Structure 1
Amino acid sequence: MASYLDTYYTRTLRTFESRPPLSGAKEADVCIVGAGLAGITAALELLRRGRSVILLEAQRVSWGASGRNGGVVSPGYSTSFARIAQRAGIDDAKSIYRMSIEGVDIVASNIAQLDIRGAQQVHGVLRVSRHENAAEMRAYQSWMAQEFQYDLAFKSHEEVRESLVSSKYRQALYDGRAFHFHPLNYARALVAEIDRLGGQVFEDSEVVSFDSTSAIKRLKTVGGTVSARDVVFTCGGYTGGLVPELARSYLPISTYMLLTEPAKEQIATAIRTTASVGDSRRASDYYRLVDGGERILWGGMITTRTSEPDRLAEILRKRMADTYPQLSDLNVAIAWSGRMSYARHLMPLIGQLQTGVWYCMGFGGHGMNTTAIGGRLIAQGITGETDRYRMFAPFGLQWNGGPAGTAAVQLTYWYYQLMDFMRERAT
Structure 2
Amino acid sequence: MNVQDSAGPGVSAHAPSYYAASANPSPERPPLKNDISIDILIVGAGYSGLSTGLHLVEKGYKVAIIEAARVGWGASGRNGGQIVNGLNASLQTIKKRYGADTANFVAGLVQEGGEIIRERVKTYGIQCDLKDGNIFTAYTGAHMRELEDRLKLWAGYGIKNQEMLDKQQLRKHVDTDVYVGGVIDHSGGHMHPLNLALGEAAAFEKLGGTIYEHTPAVSVDTAAAKPVVKTAYGSITCNTLVLCGNAYLGHVVPTLTPRVMPVSTQIIATEPLGEEQARQLIPTDICVEDVRYILDYYRLSADKRLLFGGGLVYGGTDPSDIKARLLPNMIKVFPQLRGSKIDYAWSGNFALSFSRVPQMGRIGNNTYFAHGYSGHGVTGSHTFGKILSEAIDGDRSRFDVFEKVPWFPFPGGRMFRVPYSVAGSWWYALRDKIGV
- Code of the residue aligned with 2:341 in structure 1: it is N
Report the alpha carbon displacement of residue 146 of structure 1 after superposing the two structures with TM: 3.4
**Is the CA contact (8 Å cut-off) linking 1:345 and 1:395 kept in structure 2?**
no
d(CA) in 1 for partners of 2:297, 2:205: 34
The alignment partner of 2:97 has SS state of helix
Report the alpha carbon displacement of residue 395 of structure 1 after superposing the two structures with TM: 3.8
d(CA) in 2 for partners of 1:334, 1:260: 7
Report the alpha carbon displacement of residue 235 of structure 1 after superposing the two structures with TM: 0.5
The farther-off stretch of 368-377 and 151-160 is 151-160
Residue of structure 1 in register with 2:288 after alignment: 277
d(CA) in 2 for partners of 1:138, 1:306: 33
Residue of structure 1 in register with 2:8 after alignment: none
- Code of the residue aligned with 1:357 in structure 2: it is T
d(CA) in 1 for partners of 2:426, 2:144: 26
d(CA) in 1 for partners of 2:293, 2:404: 23
Gaps in structure 1 of 5+ consecutive residues: none
**Is the CA contact (8 Å cut-off) linking 1:141 and 1:151 kept in structure 2?**
no
Residue of structure 2 in register with 1:131 after alignment: 140
d(CA) in 1 for partners of 2:145, 2:268: 33
d(CA) in 2 for partners of 1:394, 1:384: 17
d(CA) in 1 for partners of 2:159, 2:336: 39
Residue of structure 1 in register with 2:318 after alignment: 308
Residue of structure 2 in register with 1:56 after alignment: 66
d(CA) in 1 for partners of 2:281, 2:222: 55
Report the alpha carbon displacement of residue 131 of structure 1 after superposing the two structures with TM: 1.2
**Is the CA contact (8 Å cut-off) linking 2:315 and 2:418 kept in structure 1?**
no
- Code of the residue aligned with 1:373 in structure 2: it is T
**Is the CA contact (8 Å cut-off) linking 2:223 and 2:364 kept in structure 1?**
no
Give the percent of matched residue pairs that are identical in Structure 1 and Structure 2: 28
Report the alpha carbon displacement of residue 32 of structure 1 after superposing the two structures with TM: 0.7
Pair 1:139–1:349, CA change in 2 (3 A): closer
d(CA) in 1 for partners of 2:185, 2:409: 35
Residue of structure 2 in register with 1:409 after alignment: 421
**Is the CA contact (8 Å cut-off) linking 1:25 and 1:225 kept in structure 2?**
yes
What is the Cα-based RMSD across aligned positions, in Å? Answer: 1.7
Residue of structure 1 in register with 2:346 after alignment: 336
- Code of the residue aligned with 2:327 in structure 1: it is R
**Is the CA contact (8 Å cut-off) linking 2:173 and 2:286 kept in structure 1?**
no
Pair 1:253–1:395, CA change in 2 (3 A): farther
- Code of the residue aligned with 2:69 in structure 1: it is Q
d(CA) in 2 for partners of 1:382, 1:396: 21
d(CA) in 2 for partners of 1:18, 1:150: 43
Report the alpha carbon displacement of residue 72 of structure 1 after superposing the two structures with TM: 0.9
What pairs with 1:342-357 in structure 2 (closer than 5 Å)? 342-357=352-367
Report the alpha carbon displacement of residue 87 of structure 1 after superposing the two structures with TM: 2.8
**Is the CA contact (8 Å cut-off) linking 1:206 and 1:222 kept in structure 2?**
yes
**Is the CA contact (8 Å cut-off) linking 1:348 and 1:395 kept in structure 2?**
no
**Is the CA contact (8 Å cut-off) linking 1:78 and 1:365 kept in structure 2?**
yes
TM-score normalised by L of structure 2: 0.92
The alignment partner of 1:297 has SS state of strand
The farther-off stretch of 329-338 and 92-101 is 92-101
TM-superposition CA deviations, 1:126-151 (whole Å, max 9, x none): 11111125555344334323313431
Pair 1:357–1:182, CA change in 2 (3 A): same
d(CA) in 2 for partners of 1:302, 1:159: 30
Match for residue 263 of structure 2 among 253, 274, 278: 253
d(CA) in 2 for partners of 1:301, 1:204: 29
d(CA) in 2 for partners of 1:295, 1:213: 49
d(CA) in 1 for partners of 2:120, 2:284: 25
Gaps in structure 2 of 5+ consecutive residues: 6-13
Matched, 1:422 2:430: no
**Is the CA contact (8 Å cut-off) linking 1:144 and 1:151 kept in structure 2?**
no
**Is the CA contact (8 Å cut-off) linking 2:113 and 2:380 kept in structure 1?**
yes
d(CA) in 1 for partners of 2:60, 2:209: 11
TM-score normalised by L of structure 1: 0.94
- Code of the residue aligned with 1:382 in structure 2: it is I
Match for residue 7 of structure 1 among 17, 28, 40: 17
Residue of structure 1 in register with 2:398 after alignment: 388
Pair 1:134–1:309, CA change in 2 (3 A): closer
Matched, 1:167 2:166: no
d(CA) in 2 for partners of 1:140, 1:415: 22
Matched, 1:242 2:252: yes
**Is the CA contact (8 Å cut-off) linking 2:81 and 2:190 kept in structure 1?**
yes
